[in-house]
Amino acid sequence: MKTAKLSTVLLASVAMTTSAFAADLRIGLQEDPDALDTDQARTFVGRIVFESLCDKLVNITPALEFVPELATAWAWSDDGLTLVMQLRDDVVFHDGTPFDAEAVVANIERSKTLAESRRKSELASVASVAATGPHDVTFSLASPDATLIAQLSDRSGMMLSPTAAAEKGLELANDPVCSGPYKFVERIQQDRIVLEKFADHYNADSYSFDRLIFLPIPDTTVRLANLRSGDLDMLERLAPSDAPAVQADASLTFAAETSLGYQGITINVANGARSEGPLGQDKRVRQALSLAIDREVINQVVFEGTYTAGNQPFAPTSPWYDQSNPVPPRDVDAAKALLAEAGLERISIEVQAANNPVQLQLMQVVQAMAAEAGIDISIRATEFATLLQEQTAGNFDGSQVGWSGRTDPDGNIHAFVTCQGGLNDSKFCSAEVDRLLNEARLSNDPAARKAKYDAANVILRDEMPIIYLYHQTWLWAMSNKVQGFTAYPDGMIRLAGVTIR
Over the stretch 65-107, which tens digit does the pLDDT of each residue have?
999 999 999 999 999 999 999 999 999 999 999 999 999 999 9
- CATH says 262-471 is which class? alpha beta
Instruction: Provide the residue ranges of all domains of the chain, joining segments of one domain with +.
Output: 23-30+181-258+474-489, 55-169, 262-471
3-class secondary-structure state, position 190 = coil
Residue type, 123: L
- Is the pLDDT confidence value at 9 over 70? no
DSSP-derived 3-state class of residue 173: helix
Instruction: Reply yes or no on whether the pLDDT at 6 is more than 60.
Output: no
Residues 230-240 have a mean pLDDT of 97
Taking residues 337-357, report their average pLDDT.
97
* 7 vs 495, higher pLDDT: 495
Name the fold adopted by 23-30+181-258+474-489: D-Maltodextrin-Binding Protein; domain 2 (3.40.190)
Contact between residue 67 and residue 61 where contact means Cβ atoms under 8 Å apart: yes
Q: Please report the pLDDT score of residue 383 as a whole number.
A: 94
pLDDT above 60 for 208: yes
**In this structure, are residues 336 and 291 in contact, taking their beta carbons and an 8 Å threshold?**
no
Give me the pLDDT at residue 317, please.
Answer: 85
Q: Same topology for domains 55-169 and 262-471, yes or no?
A: no
Give 269-278 pLDDT, tens digit per residue.
999 999 999 9
Percent of the residues in the chain that have a pLDDT greater than 90, as a whole number: 94
Contact call for residues 314 and 259 (beta carbons, < 8 A): no
Sorted by sequence, the CB contacts under 8 Å of residue 447 that are 6+ apart come out as none
Which CATH number does the domain 55-169 belong to among 3.30.70.2860, 3.30.360.10, 3.90.76.10, 1.20.120.160?
Answer: 3.90.76.10
pLDDT the model gives residue 483? 97
Confidence of residue 48 (pLDDT cuts 50, 70, 90): very high
Q: What is the pLDDT of residues 429-448, one digit of tens each?
A: 999 999 999 999 998 899 99
Tell me the β-bridge partners of 398: 267, 351
Average pLDDT, stretch 390-411? 96
Mean pLDDT of the chain: 94
Q: Is residue 4 scored above 90 in pLDDT?
A: no
Global pTM value: 0.85
